[in-house]
């Protein structure tokens, strides 16, 4: 059996989909399951080989903002995916306004997914109304539940292996007792100020914790600004770690302070305490499910005075 799952979104969105992916794998243990997604999803697919067997890059599509569509590449992409003669296509990318017509073009024997409440439903037996409330992992589980597949709960996962820990150690050496700050995010609207992160970093250093900055290479200017604003020494790892090494870094940390971005969901999966600063998105949808272990801060203007008490509370506990 061949299954394709469409979710052409960034890392955090993919991590929130892991409980749903787990359901599809348990329902179809021998199927070949392919993720159709963004180029950045390759590392995610490799890490979640228990649930995904392959990856197919979507060259963008009109109406999807995550990537500028390469219009000339879309016909070849559709020919390739149709040639796979898929038994099932799963639209796991939003309400379906844009993605349902795209998923149907994959030419699967059956297509399932979400449809906008009150909007067009391609198949009443395989599509359910998109839930507009609740945490993202639980929203996505509505589809396998509707299809009658086994569902074991919304808990996230992020496998970390010895090779990831060894890779991190090669870059950092012995870190000791440390906390991680992640001041980047894909969208500028989701980023708390570098000055705010710097103030939190200095407070952590005063408690005797080593402060480590994480981020991808493109976020190096942001982490550099945080490091420049801090009075205390800091280790800046932006652009120096793979996805697995980032997981190992968070796994061994006392605490993560981050914007609403992918590493927040890594901390949730690894049960590492975190403080998540929300500047533009809805914490009711994107915050980790365990509100005791993962604290959220949201306000019209987020100041260190709002974040530091949550940091102190988690470190004290």
pLDDT tens sequence across 148-162: 999 999 999 999 999
pLDDT at 39 over 90: yes
The number of folded domains in the chain is 2
* Residues 218 and 101 occupy one common structural domain: no
* Residues 207 and 81 occupy one common structural domain: no
Burial class (CB in 10 A: 0-12, 13-18, 19+), 9: buried
* Residues 93 and 41 occupy one common structural domain: yes
Last residue of a domain, which of 120, 146, 172?
146
Residue 317's pLDDT band (boundaries 50, 70, 90)? confident
Q: Is residue 291 one of the residues assigned to a domain? A: yes
Q: Residue 117's beta-bridge partner residues?
A: none
* Residues 13 and 115 occupy one common structural domain: yes
Quote the pLDDT of residue 302: 96
Query: What's 91's domain CATH number?
Result: 3.40.50.2000
Last residue of a domain, which of 146, 174, 206?
146
- Angle 244-246-248 (CA atoms, 0-180°, nearest 5)? 70
Q: Is residue 65 one of the residues assigned to a domain? A: yes
Last residue of a domain, which of 117, 146, 175?
146
Give the pLDDT mean for 95-108.
97
Sheet containing 255-259: order of strands: 235-236, 210-213, 178-182, 255-259, 274-278, 294-298
The answer to whether 81 and 4 are in contact (CB under 8 A) is yes
Q: Is residue 236 one of the residues assigned to a domain? A: yes
* Residues 10 and 133 occupy one common structural domain: yes
Residue 282's pLDDT band (boundaries 50, 70, 90)? very high
Dig out the tokens for 161 from the structure. Answer: 């292996």
The answer to whether 273 and 254 are in contact (CB under 8 A) is yes
Which domain covers residue 45, as residue numbers? 2-146
- Angle 86-87-91 (CA atoms, 0-180°, nearest 5)? 80
* Residues 104 and 244 occupy one common structural domain: no
Q: Could you tell me the pTM of the whole model?
A: 0.96
Q: Is residue 304 one of the residues assigned to a domain? A: yes
Give the pLDDT mean for 281-298.
97
Q: Is residue 157 one of the residues assigned to a domain? A: no
């Amino acid at each position: 059996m061949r299954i394709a799952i469409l979710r052409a979104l960034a890392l955090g969105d993919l991590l929130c989909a892991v409980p749903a992916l787990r359901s599809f794998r348990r329902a179809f243990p021998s199927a070949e399951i392919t993720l159709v997604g963004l180029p950045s999803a390759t590392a995610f697919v490799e890490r979640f080989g228990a649930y995904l067997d392959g990856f197919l890059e979507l060259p963008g599509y009109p109406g999807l903002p995550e990537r500028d569509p390469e219009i000339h590449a879309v016909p070849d992409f559709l020919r390739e995916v149709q040639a796979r003669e898929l038994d099932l296509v799963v639209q796991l990318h939003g309400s379906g306004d844009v993605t349902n017509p795209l998923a149907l073009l994959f030419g699967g024997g059956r297509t399932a997914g979400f449809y906008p409440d009150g909007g067009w439903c391609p198949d009443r037996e395989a599509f359910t109304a998109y839930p507009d409330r609740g945490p993202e992992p639980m929203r996505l589980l509505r589809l396998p539940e509707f299809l009658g597949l086994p569902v074991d709960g919304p808990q996230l996962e992020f496998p970390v292996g010895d090779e990831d820990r060894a890779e991190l150690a090669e870059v950092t050496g012995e870190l000791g007792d440390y906390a991680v700050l992640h001041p980047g995010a894909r969208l500028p609207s989701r980023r708390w100020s570098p000055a705010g992160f710097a103030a939190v970093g200095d407070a952590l250093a005063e408690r005797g914790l080593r402060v480590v900055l994480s981020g991808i290479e493109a976020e190096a200017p942001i982490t550099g600004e945080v490091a420049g604003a801090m009075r205390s020494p800091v280790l800046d790892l932006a652009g120096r770690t793979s996805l697995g090494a980032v997981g190992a870094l968070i796994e061994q940390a006392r605490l993560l302070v981050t914007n609403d971005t992918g590493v927040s969901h890594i901390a949730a999966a690894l049960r590492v305490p975190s403080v998540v600063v929300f500047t533009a998105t809805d914490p009711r949808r994107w915050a980790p499910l365990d509100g005791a272990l993962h604290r959220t801060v949201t306000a019209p203007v987020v100041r260190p005075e709002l974040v530091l008490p949550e940091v102190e509370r988690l470190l004290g506990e």
